[in-house]
Amino acid sequence: MSGSAGSPPYAAELAAAKKAVALAARLCQTVQQEILQSDIQSKADKSPVTVADYGSQVLVSLVLNMEVTSGSFSMVAEEDSEDLRKDSAEEILEHITDLVNETLAEDGSYNITLSKEGILSAIDTGKSEGGPSGRHWVLDPIDGTKGFLRGGQYAIALALLDEGKVVLGVLGCPNLPLTSISNLNGSSSGDQTGALFSATIGCGAEVESLEGSPPQKKLGVQAPPVRIDSQAKYGALARGDGAIYLRFPHKGYKEKVWDHAAGAIVVTEAGGVVTDASGNDLDFSKGRFLDVDTGIIATNKQLMPSLLKSVQEAIKEKSQAPSPL
């Protein structure tokens, strides 16, 4: 059972998740300010991986392990240490180690210093396969790596699965205006930057400042198209900055659980709906991948029926169109 009598479900896990994401966000902000071209590696899938992806994963793993001591620890996370264990990555590993230790020292909550081996094994705590039974943390240490690299939007996305269901989610969005994305261009609005979205199953969704200061705001999904990287889109949708988020990757692309778990619960707990193109709920119990039909649709309950119909018609039209030579 989670929580003692009277406290909301998963309260301790939520507090730990927020702390983990906020600390990881601090490391990411440091790196974004001093991005060095030489720190960008290329993974086999060609997506850029930075010291910040790894550093963020280390800090989240560390904080969760320190704060949530009951039960065994399982985490399904995007990064692994394979590339970092190569001789050629020695310098990068050193940089990550310094960054993590500096961030921990500045925070002051934990009196620990990690060795390079400690960094590698913390990254590899994210190797779990997840699945339908037990509890699994789901982490995208930096979602929207492309946005991160160009100084734009990205998110640290952390969710908890319990018996195959997402029961809580936290989205740290360091570059997102606190109140609305209409304040994205231009600082004259005086809107604070850095939003932390969170949601627990059955308890609604909230947004607060990433710096940890109140006010907190209950979210509600309501109704201009915007293009921003990462699960910050789910957060923006959850507070009514936009009404629809459609994601239709190229054929054959397999969606990963960490790209949607935290964002999906933030939207559903704000009163929205997230399904695939057939109208099915997303099933996070199948391991590291999501088995979705064609794409993902997130919107409010009023728009969903007509949107689903339009999407299905568009898919049908496309499948009937003559294929290009």
- Residues in touch with Mg ion (CB under 5 A): 47, 78, 140, 142-143, 259
Q: How many CA atoms are closer than 13 Å to the CA of 178, on its beta-carbon side?
A: 16
> Annotated binding residue at 80?
no
Tokens 């997303």 label which residue? 282
Task: List the helix and strand counts (H, then E) for the chain.
Answer: 8, 12
Report residue 87 as tokens: 């001789």
Please report whether residue 43 would count as binding ligand A3P according to CB under 6 A: no
Cis amide linkage into residue 322, ω under 30° from 0: no
> Which residues does 256 contact at the CB level (< 8 Å), separation at least 6?
78, 140, 288, 289, 290
> Annotated binding residue at 143?
yes
Return the number of the residue (171 or 297) whose C-beta is nearest Mg ion.
171
> Annotated binding residue at 259?
yes
Q: Which of 53, 124, 229, 276 is catalytic?
A: 53
Report residue 1 as tokens: 């059972």
Measured over the CA atoms of residue 191, residue 19, residue 226 and residue 152, the dihedral's sign is: positive
Q: Is 98 a catalytic residue?
A: no
Q: Which does 56 bind (CB under 5 to 8 A by kind): ligand A3P, Mg ion, none?
A: none
Are the C-beta atoms of residues 125 and 200 closer than 8 Å to each other? no
Q: How many CA atoms are closer than 13 Å to the CA of 136, on its beta-carbon side?
A: 27
- As measured in angstroms, the least distance from the Cβ of 202 to ligand A3P is 27
Return the number of the residue (47 or 310) whose C-beta is nearest ligand A3P.
47
- As measured in angstroms, the least distance from the Cβ of 55 to ligand A3P is 14
Considering CB under 6 A, how many residues would be counted as binding ligand A3P?
14
Which of 126, 144, 177, 242 lies at the binding interface for ligand A3P (CB under 6 A)? 144
Binding site for ligand A3P (CB under 6 A): 47, 78, 140, 142-145, 229-230, 249-250, 253, 256, 259
- Residues at the binding site for Mg(2+) are 78, 140, 142-143, 259
Catalytic residues: 53, 145
